[in-house]
């Protein structure tokens, strides 16, 4: 249950944003840009007969084509670019587009809006600092293009647009750059964080399921080996009675008996290990026993853990198989409470005809008000004024328990309080049925 240790503790989030951009994808996008820019220059100059510095424009486009060829021959096609490499290439593309716009009217050119494309790509796949750097570069280029530019190509009499128009375009592009970068980066980062958290949840549950399966296999092996080992022990003891004490074989027979007894002791201990003894997935266990089993590892922490039956409980105590989802989720919530409790954690059990409820309450500092609205999301601020980030413990617990139909509520009542509530029929029917993730 190691994930629960970081739930309200200080844990750095997973590293994200590195190696997110495939070189093959970027090369393909840049070839599309080369074809589009070349076609636009040729159509505008020869098709619409606008006066363009064709040679200079095509030379600027050739810079991107040449850099693409260098990338294709110098780096493997399946290479993935980190923050630095992707930032340099996107910055180069932004400068290339700025040069092309300078030659074709600057901000008066309708294609000036394409300056937002590298910013959008950066916000999607890069971390905060490179995205901010490329956004600032876009604003600098837009500002320079507002004052320094060649005349806008036109047929017949040249068109001169008022400065107010250029100012409006400059404002729109700067605002759009900042807004798009901030919005897209926030959405993409949230998606990456959620993906990382779900991957951690799957890995955590998979480890628990593998340990449980290994325990069952070991217990089965101990059971299967017990019979032949008992036969060996019986035969060895019969030999010891028949072999004279002064015989050269007496010592070997005694060694055989001692080693068989040792093997039987090892197998008996293996089959009785706590993580293997209860590997009976279809056996139904009472609710209080499941909760007691989930909190067993934390009795040695020095914090008093008390299980209390609510007086308002109605009907027979519910029972269900102890699944990894249930045990792992409840254990993470309990461990989180133990970690922040001053002296005591209280587990209150309640059930009636419609609901099965577990309330985990500690006497620690409680959840800050600002955190309560976002608890259950990965990588959020800690409670109790601690610095750092909330780990994945609560997220993993909530994901696993909600998969079994539970609803979690977080609040403060003296200390932190987490209420886990299952529908009675859902608890009886589905809790404990292991799933594959």
Tokens of 326: 């249930």
Q: What is the pLDDT of residue 205?
A: 65
Mean pLDDT over residues 198-207, rounded?
A: 68
- 311-360 pLDDT per residue, tens: 878 888 888 766 777 887 888 889 888 888 889 999 999 998 888 999 99
Among 419, 380, 381, smallest CA distance to 398 is for: 419
pTM of the shown model: 0.51
- pLDDT beyond 50 at 80: yes
Mean pLDDT over residues 57-64, rounded?
A: 95
- Helix intervals (H) in 243-312: 250-271, 274-277, 287-295
Tokens of 297: 């590892």
Q: What is the DSSP string of 28-83?
A: HHHHHHHHHHHHHHHIIIIIS-----HHHHHHHHHHHHHHHHHHHHHS-TT-EE-H
Q: Is 66 exposed, middle or buried (0-12, 13-18, 19+ CB in 10 A)?
A: exposed
- End-to-end CA separation in angstroms for the chain: 18
- 387-431 pLDDT per residue, tens: 334 456 777 788 778 877 888 988 888 888 999 998 887 765 544
Mean pLDDT over residues 87-113, rounded?
A: 92
Say which residues have a Cβ less than 8 Å from residue 221's Cβ, sequence separation at least 6. none
Task: Tell me which residue has tokens 């040449």.
Answer: 66
Q: What is the pLDDT of residue 335?
A: 87
Q: What is the pLDDT of residue 1?
A: 42
Q: How far apart are CA 34 and CA 71, in angstroms?
A: 15
- pLDDT beyond 50 at 3: no
Q: What is the pLDDT of residue 70?
A: 92
Comparing 56-65, 148-157, 212-221, 401-410, which segment has the lowest mean pLDDT?
Answer: 212-221
Domains and CATH numbers, the chain: 9-202 (no CATH), 205-277 (1.10.287), 285-429 (3.30.565.10)
Residue, of 256 and 41, whose pLDDT is higher? 41
- 287-298 pLDDT per residue, tens: 888 888 888 888
- pLDDT beyond 70 at 181: yes
Helix (H, G, I), strand (E, B) or coil at 416: strand
Q: How far apart are CA 167 and CA 79, in angstroms?
A: 42
Across all residues in the chain, what is the average pLDDT?
79
């Amino acid at each position: 249950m190691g994930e629960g240790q970081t739930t309200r503790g200080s844990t750095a989030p997973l590293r994200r944003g590195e190696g997110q951009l495939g070189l093959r994808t970027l090369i393909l996008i840049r070839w599309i840009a080369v074809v589009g820019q070349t076609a636009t220059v040729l159509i505008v100059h020869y098709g619409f007969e606008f006066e363009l510095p064709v040679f200079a424009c095509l030379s600027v486009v050739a810079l991107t084509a040449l850099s693409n060829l260098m990338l294709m021959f110098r780096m493997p096609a399946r290479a993935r670019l980190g923050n630095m490499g992707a930032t340099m290439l996107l910055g180069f593309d932004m400068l290339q587009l700025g040069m092309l716009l300078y030659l074709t009217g600057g901000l008066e050119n309708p294609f000036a809006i394409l300056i937002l494309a590298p910013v959008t790509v950066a916000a999607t796949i890069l971390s905060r600092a490179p995205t901010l750097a490329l956004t600032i570069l876009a604003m600098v280029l837009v500002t320079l293009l507002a004052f320094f530019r060649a005349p806008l190509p036109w047929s017949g009499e040249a068109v001169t647009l008022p400065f107010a128009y250029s100012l409006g375009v400059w404002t729109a592009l700067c605002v759009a750059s900042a807004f798009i970068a901030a919005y897209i980066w926030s959405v993409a980062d949230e998606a990456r964080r959620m993906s990382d958290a779900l991957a951690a949840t799957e890995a955590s549950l998979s480890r628990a399921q593998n340990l449980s399966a290994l325990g069952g296999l070991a217990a089965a092996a101990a059971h299967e080996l017990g019979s032949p080992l008992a036969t060996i022990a019986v035969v060895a003891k019969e030999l010891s009675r028949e072999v004279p004490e002064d015989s050269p074989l007496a010592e070997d027979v005694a060694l055989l008996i001692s080693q068989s007894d040792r093997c039987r002791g090892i197998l008996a201990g293996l089959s009785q290990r706590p993580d293997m003894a209860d590997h009976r997935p279809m056996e139904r266990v009472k609710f209080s026993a499941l909760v007691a089993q989930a909190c067993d590892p934390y009795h040695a922490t020095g914090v008093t853990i008390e299980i209390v039956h609510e007086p308002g409980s109605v009907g027979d105590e519910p029972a269900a198989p102890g699944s990894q989802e249930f045990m792992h989720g409840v254990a993470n919530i309990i461990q989180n409470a133990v970690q922040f409790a001053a002296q005591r954690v209280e587990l209150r059990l309640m059930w009636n005809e419609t609901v099965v409820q577990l309330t985990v309450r500690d006497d620690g500092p409680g959840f800050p008000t600002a955190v309560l609205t976002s608890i259950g999301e990965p990588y959020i601020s800690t409670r109790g004024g601690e610095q750092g980030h909330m780990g994945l413990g609560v997220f993993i617990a909530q994901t696993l328990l909600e998969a079994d139909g539970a609803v979690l509520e977080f609040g403060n009542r003296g200390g932190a309080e987490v209420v886990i509530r299952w529908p009675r029929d859902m608890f009886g029917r589905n809790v404990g049925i292991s799933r594959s993730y």
